[in-house]
Structure 1
Amino acid sequence: METFIHAYSWVDIHFLLQGLWVTIYVSLISIALSFVVGLILGLLRYMKIKYVSAIVGFIIDIIRNLPLLLIIFFTYFGLPQLGIVTNPTTASIAALVIFEGAMLAEIVRSGIGSVDPGQMEGARSNGMSYSQAMYHVVMPQALHNMIPALLSQFVSLVKDTSLATIIVLPELLYHAQIIYSQNTTYLIPMYVIIAVMYFIVCFCLSQVANYLQKKYN
């Protein structure tokens, strides 16, 4: 118990909160950007545009079957070889957006596909264009169907930020490692507190998703 008390000094907690802020910052930007990317790619794959949909689908399948850690390595170590200079934060966000965007694209495609085709036909018969019917009729219903899967993917994204420790992103887990590397008796207390912090962030995200689901209902 004494070890826990010493491990949770204000200095250490403040240092962990700095790492938590980086985790939240990277997560929020990655969630927003990956959702936009996933929405666009999912629509392109669903609409079955000649050649375009097939190429997009091929790229998505490749990315979905690659480990996220490999993509992180590529954005941090590989892009500079191509003349694109990155820092740990930018590289982490880029890797998460690429990987999660591909995952979300499949969720979007299946979500749109789950809507009764009669909804599109009914909207078109009432004079709406394809894009109007998709925006006003199909997408709201598809989004409602996608919320549980989107939530699960966003929670996974928050937890996946810990992989960026390998490229020295100063996020929560990296800060915890710095603390217990200075005093190995703090290892278990650090793992406990970061588990609590991750839980709080993911729980809050799930509450937001529940609110949105009720709103759409």
Structure 2
Amino acid sequence: MSDAFSWINLRFLLDGLWVTVQVSIVSIVFSMILGGIAGTVRYSNIPILSRIVSIIVDIIRNLPLLLIIFFTYFALPQIGIKLNIFWAAVAALTIFESAMLSEIFRAGLNAVPKGQTEAGMSSGLTYVQTLILIVMPQAFKSMLPAILSQLISLIKDTSLAVIISLPELTHNAKIIYGQNTNYVIPMFIAMTAMYFVVCYLLSLLSSFLENSKYNY
């Protein structure tokens, strides 16, 4: 059983972990942008547009991520949009996480006292300037721990992309124990350890930011 932890196998698992990290980073960057825009639009109560965005967000939040992964990899090519495995996984995670993050952004913006917006606009700033310069910096500080928690969930959710054969951690572990059934338990132990280390470090960072928030 100790052969399961050979350098070749561990390197293969680390390659999978690196793909997991890459997909997570790219997805969270795009999700932050789209989720931030969607959350701001919903917060601003723009006629018609805010309602449309809210409906789209509610629909996505109530869909299984696995279904979205299937859609981006198998359905999009039917309408002429062909993505490789990596970008199909990124697209699916971005769609799903953007909806989740939009709610975090909206809640964070709502948590800032309305008086801040009124004070900014009374000083001569436009609504957009007030939002960017006054409201968002205050909201983002309170949102950061929740955003990091969502990132932790995203990292774990990448394992669902094994269904489209994305060569991430779970996929590579499956290949290893598929060649030798005696490696099943060692591979699950290795996967558990790797996921735990990455997610635990992020959870520590989230806790640190949460504690720092209350120190101000």
Regarding TM over 0.5, the answer is: yes
Cα offset, 1:148, TM superposition = 2.4
Match of 1:58 in 2: 55
- Within the candidate set 106, 110, 113, 1:109 is matched to 106
Match of 2:127 in 1: 130
Rounded to whole Å, the distance in 1 between the matches of 2:63 and 2:8 is 39
Which runs of 5 or more residues in structure 2 are unaligned? none
Matched to 1:104, the amino acid is L
Rounded to whole Å, the distance in 1 between the matches of 2:209 and 2:111 is 19
Cα offset, 1:64, TM superposition = 0.4
Cα offset, 1:205, TM superposition = 2.5
- After TM superposition, the runs of 4+ consecutive aligned structure 1 residues lying more than 2 A away are 203-217
147-156 vs 76-85, greater mean Cα deviation: 147-156
Equivalent residues, number: 214
Matched to 1:136, the amino acid is L
Calculate the TM-score normalised by the size of structure 1.
0.94
Rounded to whole Å, the distance in 2 between the matches of 1:133 and 1:198 is 40
Alignment of 1:35 with 2:32, yes or no, is yes
- Within the candidate set 114, 118, 122, 1:121 is matched to 118
Calculate the TM-score normalised by the size of structure 2.
0.94
- Within the candidate set 161, 164, 169, 2:166 is matched to 169
Rounded to whole Å, the distance in 2 between the matches of 1:137 and 1:164 is 39
Rounded to whole Å, the distance in 1 between the matches of 2:30 and 2:127 is 25
Rounded to whole Å, the distance in 2 between the matches of 1:24 and 1:154 is 11
Rounded to whole Å, the distance in 2 between the matches of 1:207 and 1:126 is 40
Rounded to whole Å, the distance in 1 between the matches of 2:208 and 2:129 is 26
Cα offset, 1:132, TM superposition = 1.6
Matches within 5 A, 1:37-116: 37-116=34-113
C-alpha contact (below 8 Å) 2:27/2:93 kept by paired residues: yes
Query: Cα RMSD over matched residues?
Result: 1.5
Which runs of 5 or more residues in structure 1 are unaligned? none
Identity rate of aligned residues, in percent? Answer: 54
